[in-house]
Amino acid sequence: MPSPQYDGESWLYVRDLFDKFTTANLLINSARDGKNLSFWELAMGLKACYNLSAPLAFFLSIGGFVLLRKVTNVSLHEIGRHGRIEHDASLVHRDTPKGQKYAPINVVDSLVNSLLIDSKTGDEEGEGAQAGDRRTLMDASDVARARVRREKDSPKLDGLHAEIARGEMAIILGVWETKAGKNIGVPVEWMREWIGHERLPMDWRPTHVQGLLDVVKRAKSIRAAMDAQRALEGKEKAL
């Protein structure tokens, strides 16, 4: 499927709309202040913002309604209800305190920094702390290190929410995939802007349609890398 073409002015307009309302990786239409949104509006918002395929956008939207146990329209703040779509062991948010209905919304700078450090291992050619954010790319193995680290420090995730946690990062790895020499991944500076400041990277433009099957494949890669990371840590601990 050919990628849609965006002129500078129209894309900046889309960016302005979606930067206003960012939560749980669902960016949606700001025309109604994030209230009383239908599954169609959620899907169209995701499709327009991230250039997702229609099957992936509707899978996320309808799946979100199911997890929220909603048959009528939703408001944006409902996505943050703990234990529905939202989960503990977030990469950049604190776990939900016991008894609280909604998750904390403030981004924790130390968690953002830890996430980015997980990408600056120097394992890939030309990367490492000295390379800077622009030249360092985050890939599935980097996400796996971060997820293992956070899940050790948080209440155990059930199978569904562990899959959601992997899936949300699998989407971004696909949407923003970039090549730098022999390396492939998401520029760390983009990840800092998106996950740390909750806005779209300023110099990103859609280049391809992100499909559902590709996300499933990437989520499996993250899971395999997490299993390998845990096995490695287990061996090191046994020494």
What is the model's pLDDT at position 122?
Answer: 54
The set of residues, in sequence order, having a beta carbon less than 8 Å from that of 28 and lying 6+ positions away, is 18, 21, 34, 37, 41, 42, 45, 46, 76
- Element of type H or E holding 42: helix 39-50
Q: What value does the mean pLDDT take over residues 15-39?
A: 49
Q: What value does the mean pLDDT take over residues 8-23?
A: 39
Whether pLDDT at 35 is above 70? yes
Whether pLDDT at 47 is above 80? yes
Whether pLDDT at 1 is above 50? no
Nearest to 83, CA basis, from 176, 155, 167? 155
Q: Give the span between the Cα atoms of 22 and 114, in whole angstroms.
A: 21
* Per-position b or e across 7-37, b if 16+ CB within 10 A of its CB: eeeeeeebbebbeebbbbbbbbbeeeebeeb
Map residue 81 onto helix, strand or coil: strand
Q: What value does the mean pLDDT take over residues 165-172?
A: 94
* Per-position b or e across 45-58, b if 16+ CB within 10 A of its CB: bbbbbbbbbeebbb
Confidence of residue 30 (pLDDT cuts 50, 70, 90): very low
Whether pLDDT at 4 is above 60? no
What Cα–Cα distance (Å) separates residue 218 from each residue in 100, 177, 185? 32, 11, 12
| Greater pLDDT, 220 or 129 | 220
Do β-strands 137-138 and 178-180 pair in parallel, antiparallel, or remain unpaired? unpaired
What is the model's pLDDT at position 124?
Answer: 52
Whether pLDDT at 18 is above 60? no
Q: Give the span between the Cα atoms of 239 and 235, in whole angstroms.
A: 7
Whether pLDDT at 97 is above 70? yes
| Greater pLDDT, 192 or 220 | 220
Judging by beta carbons within 10 Å of its beta carbon (0-12, 13-18, 19+), is residue 178 exposed, middle or buried?
middle
Residue 9: half-sphere exposure toward Cβ, Cα within 13 Å: 0
Whether pLDDT at 52 is above 90? yes
Residue % of the chain over a pLDDT of 90? 47
pLDDT in tens, 145-154: 999 999 999 9
Rounded to two decimals, what is the model's pTM?
A: 0.81
Map residue 184 onto helix, strand or coil: strand
Q: What is the dihedral of CA 230, 123, 177, 167, to 10 degrees?
A: 10
Residue type at position 170: A
On whether the CB atoms of residues 93 and 73 are closer than 8 A, the answer is no
In this predicted structure, which of 81-85, 101-105, 126-130, 137-141 has the lowest mean pLDDT? 126-130
